[in-house]
Structure 1
Amino acid sequence: MNKRQIKKLNKKSMDLLIGCGLCPEEDFDLFSNDWIIYVTHEAREECWTDEVEPFAYLTGLVQDTLVEYIEVEDDSEYGFHIEESWTRNSNLSVIDVFAIFRNTYGLEVCGGFN
């Protein structure tokens, strides 16, 4: 993809994330004329912030919806373990990412963005 297409994808992703209420507008910033989102991670003993392109963040949210967790019996102490199972291939096209996002979060919630 060329730079212009990436900028348009990031802008559209930013609008969807803000429109759905998943990310507040103040989490976004222009960095070298490109939109980024600040994502804060918190662990038990530390906290840090990453800068991510909005489309990459949106893609990650969509990929998270494609994972199912299955309880598998075994001979361990607990008698089972949890495995991840992909319901679909995680290599998605741009169209797939936006379609799955809209289906997951609903058009009425996302304000019907095209």
Structure 2
Amino acid sequence: MADFRFKVNQSYNPHLSLPHVDASEHHACSVVLPDTHALGIVIMYEDLKAKALEQWRSLLATPEIRMTAQEQYEELLSLAEKYLKQGLINRDERKVLVTEATLRYAKAVEGIGQGT
């Protein structure tokens, strides 16, 4: 089981809609939020991460109406960067998302070049 230590205080960034997560320490995770119960924070964080990744995967699978392959790719990259800044994913997870988006974009562009 992972060792989670939470630093909960009044200093959080009001410009972010999600908590700032500092995972720079080995095996420790600091979440900076207003006074809140730690278990609730973990559950909320996991819910937000799951919903964010579900949104990203949905856009990857089904682009919005009239969205070009390039627009889809740019939006996927933008979401991955947003999730990283919000602390929902780490750099390695962002790299995986960017790789998946790049492969999908390359496949779409290749298909266009072949007349599909």
**Shared fold (TM-score, shorter chain, > 0.5):** no
* Pairwise TM-score range, normalised by the shorter structure: under 0.3
Q: Hey, which of these two has a bigger chunk of strand by percent? A: 1
- TM-score scaled by structure 1? 0.27
TM-score (norm: length of structure 2): 0.27
